[in-house]
Amino acid sequence: MMSKSALQRSFTRKHRIATVPPKRRKESGNLTVLPYPSQQARAKVALQNLSLQYKSNARPLLALDDINLDVKAGEFLCIVGPSGCGKSTLLHLVAGLQRPTCGHVFVDGKEVNTPGSDRILIFQELGLFPWLTVGDNVAFGMKMKNVPHAERKEKIGHYLRLVHLSQFKDSYTHQLSGGMRQRVALARALAAEPDVLLMDEPFAALDAQTRDLLHDELERIWAETGRTIIFITHNVREAVRLGDRVVLLTFRPGRVKREFDIDLPRPRFLEDATVAAAAREILNDLREEINKSLEAQYASHGATL
């Protein structure tokens, strides 16, 4: 059996230092320092000096501060951080649902200013239409794009097979389990054939058994379609289970504190010792940010008493 130290050495951790960007790649043991931002190839998604500040009557709230991050084509990137660090806000900016206060979002080298069909966001609440059948939910985005009926029918069949829901094409969402509804949302997003799939804690409300099954399904679909996925989660072990890379954000304002390259063979499982060891390594850094979040909550609560 591998020792604890051997398990922890079985994955590579990448650190990016925003204040002193290195000019060339250097390696030392398990630590790999990369150019910041990437200078090797144009990223699928690139966030450059991204900041977002909310205006309020009391005082402005800086939610995100100077985010610099590249996501490669076909990469499965997971983002973790304490509550209030701006994880969901970051996805909204990539989706074009919000505009940054300063900085830029690029997809394939083109700046994002509005929502687009090349980026699909799956919310935790799913947003399925209960008055439509499963098949009609999957077809909704295609109808908005005026995809011909015959092509829609073919794609509905293809993507329902992909998520193993072909036999429920004519069912309504209230007739499905939570995990099945999650798969409908995934099929609807994939049917729009986006280049980038944005997922905001999609499995948070599911029971452990269903979540584990959907991990397998999502990983299989990702491997088959080659989509670029940016996945938000509070569950560090889930991030290690799914991600090629895990990005850790600081408590408000959200900044990239550290990046972890998950160099573990696939398929992975939550109960794997190597997954647990990698998750503990990330949690060691995350715990400091969680404590800052709790201190801010206590201070705010004390101020209102």
pLDDT in tens, 72-121: 999 999 999 998 888 999 999 999 999 999 999 999 999 999 998 899 99
Surface-to-core class of residue 32, CB atoms within 10 Å of its CB (0-12 exposed, 13-18 middle, 19+ buried): middle
Q: What is the mean pLDDT of the chain?
A: 82
Of 267 and 35, the one with more pLDDT: 267
Per-residue model confidence as pLDDT tens digits over 23-60:
333 333 333 334 344 433 579 999 999 999 988 777 78
Share of the chain above pLDDT 70, in %: 83
Average pLDDT of the segment spanning 13-29: 34
* Average pLDDT, integer, range 261-275: 92
Is 238 within 8 Å of 268 (Cβ atoms)?
Answer: no
Comparing 63 with 38, the larger pLDDT belongs to 63
Amino acid at 220: R
Using 50, 70 and 90 to split pLDDT, how confident is the model at 61?
A: confident
Which tens digit of pLDDT belongs to each residue from 122-136? 877 768 899 999 999
β 31-33/13-14 pair status: parallel
Instruction: Name the pLDDT band for 15 (thresholds 50, 70, 90).
Output: very low
User: Which pLDDT score, from 0 to 100, does residue 2 have?
Assistant: 47
Greater model confidence, 60 or 298: 60
Q: Does the structure show a pLDDT above 90 at 304?
A: no
From the list 105, 34, 109, 77, the residue with the least C-alpha distance to 229 is 77
Query: How far is it, in rounded angstroms, from Cα 299 to Cα 259?
Result: 29
| Whether the Cβ atoms of residue 201 and residue 124 lie closer than 8 Å to each other | yes
CATH code: domain 7-118+194-304 is 3.40.50.300
| Per-residue pLDDT reduced to its tens digit, 177-215 | 888 988 898 889 888 889 999 999 988 878 888 888 889
- In tens, the pLDDT along 143-161 reads 888 889 999 999 999 999 8
d(CA 74, CA 19): 28
Q: Which residues contact 215 (CB under 8 A, 6 or more apart)?
A: 203, 238, 241, 242, 270
Reading the block at residue 250, the tokens are 């600081």
First CA to last CA distance, the chain: 54
For residue 300, the model assigns a pLDDT of: 63
Q: Is 134 in contact with 211 (CB distance < 8 Å)?
A: no
Domain range summary for the chain, segments of one domain joined by +: 7-118+194-304, 129-193
For the segment 294-304, the average pLDDT, to the nearest whole number, is: 64
Alpha-carbon torsion (292, 294, 299, 303), positive or negative: positive
Cα separation, 236 vs 97, in Å, equals 26
Q: What is the mean pLDDT of residues 274-293?
A: 90
Strands 76-80 and 245-249: parallel
Averaged over 271-292, what is the pLDDT?
Answer: 91
